[in-house]
Amino acid sequence: MTRHRYAVVASLCAFMLFASACGNSGDPTETSDPRPTDTRVDDSEDSTGSADTADNSGDPTDADVETDAATDTDDTESTDVDAGNEDDEPVDDRENLWDRRNEFVAIEGVPGVSDDEISVAVVGIREFNPLGTCILDCYLTGVQAYFDYVNDGGGIYGRDLVIGETHDDQLLLNQQAALEIISDNKSFASFQATLNASGWGDLHEAGIPSFTWNIHSTESADRDTIFGHFAIGCINCSQRGVPWLMSISGASTVATLGYGVSENSQVCANSLADSVELYSEELGISVGYINDNLAYGLTSGIAPEVTQMIDAGVDFIATCLDLNGMKTLAQELQRQGARDQTTMYHPNTYDAGFVAEAGSLFDGDYVIPQFAAFEYDTGSELKALYDEWVPLHGGPVAEQTMVGWINADTMVTGLLHAGPDFDRQKLIDALNSIIYDADGLINPIEFGRQHTPPTEGDPTHDYVLECTSAVRMQDGGFVGFQEAPFMCWDNATTDWSEPFPVNFADR
């Protein structure tokens, strides 16, 4: 079977009105032998041993979030799993590659590459952002902070990593930005944090590797030059993550909601309901209300729908709405006196500032970040470096910042595997031959086979494990409650089971 790894992927894709349905497009990306290698290593010796590298042996900078005592995973017995290739044990060779990062080879004819620099372009949304959240600037912080860390240790292959051009695509100008990057031909790669990925196809056709906030399954499907911080999702596949949250919250009757103007959001809402019905007998939970035709932004409110849900006995609401829609929904539940009796799953509210401003409005609700949530101690060296370098750069500890950090690490990982005589295609080929897990911060991705969207019942292009890193909202912040950074299920079966704890950084 194939099942959604991070439940958040489908929901994030769903609320995007600017993307097409998260389906398959184009010819499937072919994979080739040898099988991928696992890139996770402990590079702490290299990151601290250089006189030019900042000392990261001290305590990491604390995120401005609350952490439950249950999140201390040092005392948790997590399952030791091979979440990459099931047939062969991956070869862990990045440590040796990292040792040669300062080897210099003169390169000519590679766009964005000089003897001194590797220059990249960053594209994202700042102006006309309908969500009102920090996207481009927070993402830039993550990319630049990672570049600062690498450059402080001498760069890579004798070259500094630099952001040479930045484009605010203003919601509708992503393709224009992509065409400028292609025509100027002065950037080695592109980094993308956008709500409208209309230019990704052009970048792919030009052979430009792109590192992305991968909420656009259609635009990244079957394009082996696009590397997201999670793999392409299956919006209509069954999932266990959200039903598990319903179960542990004590829910009995649930509702699912989506926007009518977005096919993605509609499919997402119905997929959530289907997943609940699939496991209804095991969990003792039923679907009492489905509405996939809400007005985007809930501009006319949601009072009648909330009344209907209350009358149906709904005690858990899972949605495919943006964070502003979630706030409107929560306020209406509060107005009708049902907020304290109703738990909600948020697909896109892992925003510390937004939740802090809401105070206790979201208390008891759940959200699933796209990586190991900040509230869990993974012991990951890459996370410790994030905690050190992002604050030094003056940036927030935020979702988009971590996405930028992971994207930057993905590119550097690809460069290490491509070797000092690198170019764009060698980087692309290298990443498509490895298993990447951002030192335990994400569910391991085998890019070579996961560019193609998975489908229900076929594990060929899916994650080995379906995993969730959920947190609960409390007092205007986030609290971890899981036994380990990830709670997972085996994707070899559709059967219901209780999830098992996993810390990918311990592999």
Q: What is the pLDDT along the chain (507 residues), one digit of tens a residue?
A: 333 433 333 334 433 443 333 332 333 233 333 334 444 333 433 333 333 333 333 333 333 333 343 334 344 444 544 544 444 444 446 667 888 888 999 999 999 999 999 999 999 999 999 988 999 999 999 999 999 999 999 999 999 999 999 999 999 999 999 999 999 999 999 999 999 999 999 999 999 999 999 988 889 999 999 999 999 888 788 899 999 999 999 999 999 999 998 888 899 999 999 999 999 999 999 999 999 999 998 989 999 999 999 999 999 999 999 999 999 999 999 999 999 999 999 998 999 999 999 999 999 999 999 999 999 999 999 999 999 999 998 777 789 999 999 999 999 999 999 999 999 999 999 999 999 999 999 999 999 999 999 988 788 999 999 999 999 999 999 999 999 999 999 998 889 999 999 999 997
**Closest to 38 (Cα-Cα) out of 433, 506, 459:** 433
Residue 396: predicted pLDDT = 74
Domain assignment of residue 321, yes or no:
no
Residue 391 lies in a domain: yes
Q: Among all chains, which residue has been given the structure tokens 């598990």?
A: 244
**Residue among 443, 453, 319 at smallest CA distance from 5:** 443
Q: How large is the greatest C-alpha to C-alpha distance in the chain, in angstroms?
A: 71
DSSP 150-187: HHHTT-BTTBEEEEEEEEE-TTT-HHHHHHHHHHH---
221: amino acid identity, one letter: A
Cα 369 from Cα 20, distance rounded (Å): 22
pLDDT tens digit string along 119-136? 999 999 999 999 889 999
**Cα separation, 402 vs 399, whole angstroms:** 5
- The CATH code of the domain that includes 142 is 3.40.50.2300
* Predicted pLDDT of residue 95: 66
Contact criterion met (CB below 8 Å) for 98 and 46: yes
In a domain? residue 357: no
Number of helices (H), then strands (E), belonging to the chain: the values are 17, 18
Range of the domain at 135: 95-234+378-432
Residues 6+ apart with CB under 8 A from 229: 212, 213, 214, 370, 371, 403, 406, 407, 410, 438, 442
Report whether the peptide linkage leading into residue 347 is cis, meaning its omega lies within 30 degrees of zero: no
Rounded Cα distance, 140 and 398, in Å: 12
Say what the pLDDT of residue 325 is: 96
Residue 446, helix vs strand vs coil = strand
Q: Of 55, 47, 61, 58, whose CA–CA distance to 397 is shortest?
A: 61
Residue 90 lies in a domain: no
Is there a domain that residue 362 lies in?
A: no
Tell me what pLDDT residue 458 has.
82
| Residue in 9, 494, 480, 14 with CA at minimum distance from that of residue 256 | 14
| Domains of the chain: total | 1
Residue whose token pair is 């930057």:
408
Comparing C-alpha atoms, which of 342, 335, 339, 337 is closest to residue 314? 342
109 inside domain: yes
pLDDT of residue 27: 32
